[in-house]
């Protein structure tokens, strides 16, 4: 009996060694993927990064357009007109410099001959005071550019979180597969030992049946773990913005780690100051206030400078030039929609204010929830690690007793199941701790890198 059990343990050790050598060979053939490397690939390849960059370019173009609304408007025109309208004929002759004393002849004034007027002109109009509309557009466009910047930062932090979550999710899946694979090996060894003991008459057939049932159960767990690993690989590749079937060899591990945890007050302060969506909500409120000021400024007069120069010709060569320069001051005595536009601007500002306040309340709750999640995961991790140590010691004792015939197969299988469950709980609690801390950094707007996870 002892020889059979000892032989099974030697076979397990050799199998583990062979798999470790195969894994090492594969890792040498393919460069390992680190967490910083995965984040770098994601920030370079993810479609949302390109979309955020395009949003920033759009906001920059809108700001440039608003700034250039203060520039003068210059137009060049060429018109050709032919007719015998008395006013047109009289004026065209004057513009062309061909008006003579004979043109005062009444029949000719009343019934002029048809003539052609070629006129080329250049006109310029520049706002001197446009009721502060340009400054309002520039201010709002500048705020939209800042909002685009916060959107880009938010997208980057969200991508980092997704990469961290899926990276450690793949590590968790791989570790679970390894644990279930070791459980299968132990169960196979138990079946072999039980079969030998039944053949020797030192154990009943029920022990062999129980070991075979245990082997079937752990094989099912191994199949599920293998499928979860493939799914986790696809999730990581998706988070990185690359083909989902790309194979990966990860360089990290779900080891024991302790992250620094600030006080709740400090985290709330950081979140309200640094979270991109909170900053963006504040900028939206400022844009609404600028819109109200711009709408009110429509009650002020408008002042424009204008000038024009041109030449009128009766053919393509000969003609006479002229110019005009002036300033216009315009008062809108009646604009029925002006009051409504002011009311709309005020309503938009109130909406932005309400959304900002609601977001701040939501952020406070999210920070409290995320911090509590990290604390809970840390406590679970400590309990799970202690449970694993005790389960390992209990299995060792039961194995010794089983070799001496002082314990039953049922107790041995129960101890092995308890150890497997405890090891899986350790992995799950570490994963929750890692992802929970990343979520806390995301919630407070501090996930600007992955340094806490690799230092």
Per-position DSSP letters for 429-444, written without gaps between them:
HHHHHHHHHHHHHHHT
Helices (H), 121-275: 133-200, 205-240, 264-274
pLDDT value at 22 more than 80: no
153-203 pLDDT per residue, tens: 999 999 999 999 999 999 999 999 999 998 888 888 878 877 887 777 777
Going along the chain from its start, the domains and CATH numbers come out as 31-67+133-297+337-454 (1.20.1600.10), 73-130+302-330 (2.20.200)
Residue 455: predicted pLDDT: 67
Query: E strand or H helix at 80, and its extent?
Result: strand 73-83
The neighbouring-strand residues paired with 330 are 302
307-362 pLDDT per residue, tens: 999 888 887 777 788 889 999 999 988 888 999 999 999 999 999 999 999 999 99
pLDDT value at 392 more than 80: yes
pLDDT value at 5 more than 60: no
Residue 17: predicted pLDDT: 43
Residue 147 makes CB contacts below 8 A (sequence gap 6+) with: 59, 280, 283, 284
pLDDT value at 365 more than 70: yes
pLDDT value at 13 more than 60: no
212-250 pLDDT per residue, tens: 888 888 899 889 999 999 999 999 999 999 999 899 999
Read off the tokens for 376: 């809970």
Average pLDDT for 36-50: 93
Residue with tokens 């279930």: 180
pLDDT value at 24 more than 50: no
**Model confidence at 211, in pLDDT bands (50, 70, 90)?**
confident
**Model confidence at 56, in pLDDT bands (50, 70, 90)?**
very high
Residue 19: predicted pLDDT: 38
**Model confidence at 412, in pLDDT bands (50, 70, 90)?**
confident
Residue 96 makes CB contacts below 8 A (sequence gap 6+) with: 117, 312, 313, 314, 318, 319, 320
* Percent of the chain at pLDDT exceeding 70: 93
Q: Is 127 helix (H, G, I), strand (E, B) or coil?
A: strand
Phi and psi at 242, nearest 5°, equal: -120, 180
Average pLDDT for 118-141: 92
**Model confidence at 30, in pLDDT bands (50, 70, 90)?**
low
Residue 67: predicted pLDDT: 93
Average pLDDT for 370-394: 93
Q: CB 416: neighbour CB atoms within 10 A?
A: 21
Mean per-residue pLDDT of the chain: 87
The percent helix, strand, coil of the chain (3-state, each to 5) is: 70, 10, 15
58-69 pLDDT per residue, tens: 999 999 999 999
**Roughly what angle, to the nearest 10 degrees, separates helices 276-296 and 264-274?**
50
pTM (global) more than 0.95:
no
Residues 190 and 218 sit within 8 Å (Cβ to Cβ): no
Residues 264 and 181 sit within 8 Å (Cβ to Cβ): no
Residue 409: predicted pLDDT: 78
Measure Cα distances from 11 to 174, 185, 302 in Å: 22, 9, 93
């Amino acid at each position: 009996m002892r020889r059979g059990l000892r032989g099974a343990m030697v076979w397990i050790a050799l199998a583990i060694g062979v798999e470790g050598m195969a894994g090492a060979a594969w890792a040498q053939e393919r460069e390992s993927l680190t967490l910083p490397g995965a984040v770098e690939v994601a920030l370079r390849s993810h479609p949302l990064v390109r979309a955020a960059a395009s949003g920033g370019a759009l906001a920059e173009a809108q700001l440039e357009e608003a700034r250039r609304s203060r520039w003068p408007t210059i137009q060049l025109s060429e018109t050709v007109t032919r007719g015998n309208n008395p006013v047109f004929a009289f004026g065209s002759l004057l513009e062309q410099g061909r008006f003579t004393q004979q043109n005062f002849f009444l029949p000719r004034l009343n019934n002029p001959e048809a003539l052609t007027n070629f006129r080329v002109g250049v006109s310029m109009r520049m706002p001197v005071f446009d009721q502060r509309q340009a400054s309002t557009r520039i201010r709002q466009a500048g705020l939209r550019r800042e909002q685009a910047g916060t959107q880009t930062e938010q997208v980057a932090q969200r991508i980092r979180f997704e990469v961290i979550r899926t990276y450690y999710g793949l590590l968790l899946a791989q570790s679970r597969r390894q644990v279930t694979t070791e459980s299968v090996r132990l169960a196979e060894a138990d079946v072999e030992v039980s079969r030998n003991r039944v053949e020797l008459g030192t154990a009943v057939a029920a022990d062999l049946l129980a070991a075979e049932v245990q082997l079937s159960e752990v094989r099912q767990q191994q199949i599920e773990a293998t499928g979860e690993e493939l799914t986790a690989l696809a999730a990581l590749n998706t988070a990185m913005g690359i083909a989902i079937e790309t194979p990966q060899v990860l360089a990290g591990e779900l080891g024991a780690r302790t992250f620094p945890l600030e006080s709740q007050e400090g985290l709330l302060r950081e979140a309200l100051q640094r979270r991109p969506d909170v900053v963006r909500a504040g900028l939206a409120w400022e844009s609404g206030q600028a819109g109200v000021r711009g709408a009110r400024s429509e009650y002020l007069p408008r002042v424009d400078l204008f000038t024009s120069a041109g030449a009128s010709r009766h053919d393509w060569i000969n003609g006479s030039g002229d110019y005009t320069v002036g300033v216009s001051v315009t008062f809108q005595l009646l604009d029925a929609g002006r009051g409504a536009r002011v009311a709309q601007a005020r309503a938009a500002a109130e909406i932005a204010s309400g959304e900002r306040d609601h977001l701040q309340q939501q952020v406070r709750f999210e920070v409290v929830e995320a911090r509590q999640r990290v604390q809970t995961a840390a406590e679970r991790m400590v309990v799970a690690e202690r449970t694993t140590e005790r389960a390992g010691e209990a299995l060792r004792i039961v194995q010794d007793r089983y070799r001496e015939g002082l314990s039953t197969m049922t107790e041995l299988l129960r101890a092995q199941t308890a150890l497997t469950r405890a090891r899986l709980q350790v992995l799950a609690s570490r994963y929750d701790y890692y992802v929970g801390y990343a979520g806390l950094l995301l919630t407070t707007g501090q996930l600007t890198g992955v340094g806490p996870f690799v230092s």
